[in-house]
Amino acid sequence: MKRSFIIILVCILSIPAMFAQTAEDALRYSRVMYSGTARFNGLSGAFGALGADFSTLTVNPAGIGLYKGSEMTITAAPIVSYATSIYNGSEASDSRVNFGLGNIGAVLNISPYAKNKTGPLKSFNIGIGLNRQNDFNNQVVINGVNAKNSLMQSYANTLNDAQEPEQYINDDYPFDIGLAYGANLVYFDSAANKYLCDAAYGGVLQNKVITTHGSMNEFDFSMGANFNDQLFFGMTFGVPTINYYEHTQYQETRTKDTIPNFISLNYYSDLHTTGTGLNFKLGVIYKPADWVRIGASIHTPTWFPTMRDRWSSSMQSTFTNTDWNSTQYSPEGSYDYRLTTPFRAIGSLAFIIGQYGLVSADYEYVNYSQARFNSTYDSYTDLNNTIKTSFKSWGNIRVGTEWRLSDFRLRGGFAYFSNPYSSGTNNSERFQVSGGFGYRTKYFFADVTYVWARMNQDYYLYDASMVNAAVISNYTNSVMTTVGFRF
């Protein structure tokens, strides 16, 4: 029973050509890898109890209450992503470079009193701007020989299991199997009374290139207050936006002349997802003593009422009999739906070591199984049940430190994002290490941070009962530079 569940799960996660929403889509937009300023990333995001950094607006908005003055910041965040894969003993690798914007924003400090007047409310601050939450830029190459079967045989199995009439194939499978049928890669044999293909027993070199780009950014409007320099409150209205592109190129080429007729197939697919959401965050930071700070925040589920997918695909076949060669094109697909991502809670603790430095840690609770799709037109009951059973709750940990040397700062951090899968089928743990330095004066500051991250995962080219997993290691390298002005 457990093996059957695993096979169903990886099939759902590994066939984006179907272009229906999947559990993997829900995870992609629910799993937030906070970015923002270079100082924030220098501590790997462990800022929930520290505050006074623009990126805290999206983690613990109480951090805005610790500002003593007004400031403006902007962060450049170029990223180099590098991915390696191992499939059936063959290794492949590729890389991609992208220039991104980590943050841009401003905080306005307002004193409620005229000079020489006192009261519990020391200041009231307003912040507005943009923080990056996810970067989707990556390129993965999978390459290896399959000596057992082919994608075409997977298609034939689907048609045979469904006992699909030939006249309905194009209507029922317009973006994949219908293309293969039209390109003569899958055909019905009346003598055998079933669908067949030429490379049923493998002997093909399989190659897939998955190119993704885009990002997930959040526009934040925050308000925070400082009471007696001891208790700080804050709230943030967040408007995240999604812009995700995925282009795949899949190719099979025969490696043996013993395969009759078939030479190669090429399958191309494109997906573009956009969406705009809403969420609300509340936070508090308490200073029971000058050397310690305790922080806590909650994030409501993010509601994306305007999600839209657009997709298309094409397939090309090459045979020894050139009369059979064909190129097939799918229609243009489009679908609107809604997505709700999970609630989050963050607990934080920081120790201030006089004028010399600090150590800080955050624990973030998030249950990815709470993500839900819905639509006015269709039922998502089955998919939402799959999400509920496929993912689990665990948590993410971020730890960082900063040390002062006159006007300079030295920083380092580590973050661990736990495996979100309940079955262990696709272990997507993420490890992040960061380090950087900064220069700060009364009216100006500049920070530079290097961030290295790694995440491993299994990827199935098609039906997991037919193929081995490709083991993919994704690496990202980013050098973030923030400049800011105080006034």
Ordered DSSP codes for 17-78: GG-S--HHHHHHHH-------HHHHHTTT--TTT--SGGGGGT-GGGGGG-SS-EEEEEE--
Total count of domains within the chain: 1
Q: Torsion angle, CA of 42/54/366/306, rounded to 10 degrees? A: -130
CA distance 34 to 131: 8
CA distance 154 to 190: 19
DSSP designation for 120: S
Kind of pairing, strands 333-340 and 303-319? antiparallel
Q: 168 lies in a domain?
A: no
CA distance 196 to 356: 72
Backbone conformation region of residue 13, classed left if phi is above 0, alpha if psi is from -120 to 50, else beta: alpha
**In which domain, by residue range, is 311 found?**
2-150+199-486
Q: 184 lies in a domain?
A: no
The whole-number pLDDT of residue 111 equals 79
The whole-number pLDDT of residue 376 equals 87
Q: 231 lies in a domain?
A: yes
Q: 162 lies in a domain?
A: no
Q: Which residue has the tokens 């049940």?
A: 385
Digit-by-digit pLDDT tens for the chain (487 residues) are: 333 333 334 433 344 334 578 999 999 999 999 989 999 999 999 999 999 999 999 999 999 999 999 999 999 999 999 999 999 999 999 999 998 899 999 999 997 766 666 789 999 999 999 999 999 999 999 999 999 999 999 999 999 999 999 999 999 999 999 999 999 999 999 999 999 999 999 999 999 999 999 999 999 999 999 999 999 999 999 999 999 999 999 999 999 777 889 999 999 999 999 999 999 999 999 999 999 999 999 999 999 999 999 999 999 999 999 999 999 999 999 999 999 999 999 999 999 999 999 999 999 999 999 999 999 888 899 999 999 999 988 899 999 999 999 999 999 999 999 999 987 667 789 999 999 999 999 999 999 999 999 999 999 999 999 999 999 999 999 999 999 999 9
The whole-number pLDDT of residue 21 equals 87
Strand partners, 445: 440, 484
The whole-number pLDDT of residue 414 equals 98
Q: 158 lies in a domain?
A: no
Nearest residue to 301 via CA among 105, 23, 26: 26
Q: 293 lies in a domain?
A: yes
Nearest residue to 373 via CA among 418, 335, 345: 335
Backbone conformation region of residue 44, classed left if phi is above 0, alpha if psi is from -120 to 50, else beta: left
Q: How many Å is the maximal CA-CA distance in the chain?
A: 98
User: How many beta carbons lie within 10 A of that of residue 459, not counting itself?
Assistant: 18
The whole-number pLDDT of residue 14 equals 40
In the structure encoding, which two tokens stand for residue 285, read together?
């930071």
In the structure encoding, which two tokens stand for residue 473, read together?
């290691």
User: How many beta carbons lie within 10 A of that of residue 92, not counting itself?
Assistant: 19
CA distance 79 to 62: 29
Nearest residue to 360 via CA among 110, 73, 66: 66
Element containing residue 143 per DSSP (H, E): strand 138-146
Nearest residue to 37 via CA among 107, 127, 101: 101
In the structure encoding, which two tokens stand for residue 167, read together?
């006249």
Q: 209 lies in a domain?
A: yes
Nearest residue to 33 via CA among 85, 102, 99: 102
In the structure encoding, which two tokens stand for residue 98, read together?
């992208």
CA distance 172 to 110: 61
Q: 166 lies in a domain?
A: no
Contact partners, residue 347, CB within 8 Å, separation at least 6:
48, 295, 296, 362, 363
The structure's pTM equals 0.91
Q: Say which CATH number the domain at 464 has.
A: 2.40.160.60
CA distance 187 to 249: 23
The whole-number pLDDT of residue 114 equals 60
Q: Residue 177: phi, psi to the nearest 5? A: -65, -35
The whole-number pLDDT of residue 20 equals 74
Nearest residue to 124 via CA among 137, 140, 109, 135: 109
In the structure encoding, which two tokens stand for residue 380, read together?
């998502």
